[in-house]
Amino acid sequence: MFTVNTYAATSPTGDLVPTPIQRRDVGPHDVLIEIKYAGICHSDIHTVRGDWGPQSYPLAPGHEIAGIVTKVGSAVTTHTVGDRVGVGCMVNSCGQCTNCQAGEEQYCLAGNTGTYGAVDRDGTITQGGYSTHIVVTEDFVVRIPDALDLDVAAPLLCAGITTYSPLHHWGAGPGKKVAIVGLGGLGHMAVKIAHAMGAEVTVLSQSLKKMEDGLNLGADHYFATNNPATFEHLAGSFDLIINTVSAAIDINAYLQLLTLDGALVNVGAPAEPLPVQVFSLIMGRRSFAGSMIGGIRETQEMLDFCAEHGIGSEIEVIPASKINDAYERVLASDVRYRFVIDTATL
């Protein structure tokens, strides 16, 4: 075991503070990563504040990790010292179930091991990327292409794959009309990726205040959902809607915007239930679905796709001392569009 510096929550209500933690020694199949940048995801806030269930403290969040390999275990074959790498929302899975064997480790039937706040293989609680270093088994470390700077690549490990996976799975591409609900950390990546896939992209946001941004990011159209006329005008328009917001919305109203056989896919995770009227589904053979990140293979595919198309996250780099301020700004929707921690400031 060795000690590293982190910023961690010590309770669900207090600030994150400098906190030393223990990392396990590098085993035969492990990779030691010097973290350079770590993105701040809304789910970090939900988790440390106990919105999704009680947590063990201290807890260092962070699952958008970009850094450099500084040591590898004796049996590691996929990474070498000096590699530019990333770690996303999970750091292990059973590896044996049907889903893991299919490369869908995020849906491991035994439950994947989250990058923070989960029980690790040695029985300790995992600690995330608001840290100087992390030790991860090689199978859950991905390569960051040289064409991507590490700071803009970090949020791709959650925001990028969370939106790429459903867009890919539901066939976003030429001839498809795709709507993105919300233009935040997830939404802005969904716009960029859907545009690069060749889809016709519409942003559905509460107001028009980010309209210029949305169009510059690749949206073809932009509508305000606080205007009831939007729902009348766009009824039956979209093959696919990706809902990126983590707050309750009127799902039935959005389902009416789908074409025959259209799908509304939730990637935002509000704490409240989202009631659905069955007739909103059966009258158009519509689907209401969910999607959670992607497997390791698909995450690498996403990174390569983003490198090929010059896609990175729109970021504001902050020192660790500004993490608590950043949390308040995320909750106030005052970020365009992802905070990234410079971990050298730890």
Average pLDDT on 150-164 reads 98
Which pLDDT score, from 0 to 100, does residue 247 have?
85
Which pLDDT score, from 0 to 100, does residue 273 have?
87
Q: Is 41 within 8 Å of 49 (Cβ atoms)?
A: no
Which pLDDT score, from 0 to 100, does residue 289 have?
97
Examine the pLDDT at 58 and tell me if it is beyond 80: yes
Q: Is 89 within 8 Å of 108 (Cβ atoms)?
A: no
Per residue in 40-56, pLDDT (tens digit) is: 998 999 999 998 889 99
Examine the pLDDT at 146 and tell me if it is beyond 80: yes
Per the listing, tokens 């893991």 go with 100
Range of the domain at 193: 160-290
Per residue in 7-20, pLDDT (tens digit) is: 999 999 999 999 99
How far is residue 46's CA from residue 337's CA, in Å, rounded to a whole number?
18
Do 134 and 211 have their domain in common? no
Running DSSP on this structure, what letter comes out for residue 198? T
- % residues pLDDT > 70 (the chain): 100
Which pLDDT score, from 0 to 100, does residue 121 have?
76
Do 124 and 112 have their domain in common? yes
Which pLDDT score, from 0 to 100, does residue 37 have?
98
Which pLDDT score, from 0 to 100, does residue 70 have?
98
Examine the pLDDT at 246 and tell me if it is beyond 90: no
Average pLDDT on 151-165 reads 98
How far is residue 193's CA from residue 196's CA, in Å, rounded to a whole number?
5
CATH of the domain at 103: 3.90.180.10
For residue 295, tell me if it sits in a domain.
no
Do 146 and 273 have their domain in common? no
Which pLDDT score, from 0 to 100, does residue 88 have?
98
Overall number of domains in the chain: 2
For residue 223, tell me if it sits in a domain.
yes
CATH of the domain at 197: 3.40.50.720
CA 286 to chain CA mean position, Å: 26
- % residues pLDDT > 90 (the chain): 93
Do 6 and 137 have their domain in common? yes
Do 269 and 250 have their domain in common? yes
Do 7 and 136 have their domain in common? yes
For residue 306, tell me if it sits in a domain.
no
pLDDT-derived band of residue 205, with 50, 70 and 90 as boundaries?
Answer: very high
Do 152 and 42 have their domain in common? yes
For residue 301, tell me if it sits in a domain.
no
Do 216 and 334 have their domain in common? no
Average pLDDT on 337-343 reads 97
pLDDT-derived band of residue 270, with 50, 70 and 90 as boundaries?
Answer: confident
Examine the pLDDT at 269 and tell me if it is beyond 90: no
Which pLDDT score, from 0 to 100, does residue 186 have?
95
Do 153 and 16 have their domain in common? yes
Per residue in 215-238, pLDDT (tens digit) is: 999 999 999 999 999 999 999 999
Which pLDDT score, from 0 to 100, does residue 10 have?
95
Closest CA to 293 of 76, 106, 151: 106
**Strand stretches in the chain, DSSP E:** 2-9, 16-23, 30-39, 65-72, 84-87, 90-92, 113-114, 133-137, 142-143, 177-181, 200-205, 221-224, 238-243, 258-266, 287-290, 315-318, 338-342
Write down the pTM of the prediction: 0.94
Do 12 and 108 have their domain in common? yes
Examine the pLDDT at 271 and tell me if it is beyond 80: no
Do 280 and 164 have their domain in common? yes
For 150, other C-beta atoms within 10 Å of its C-beta total 19
pLDDT-derived band of residue 171, with 50, 70 and 90 as boundaries?
Answer: very high
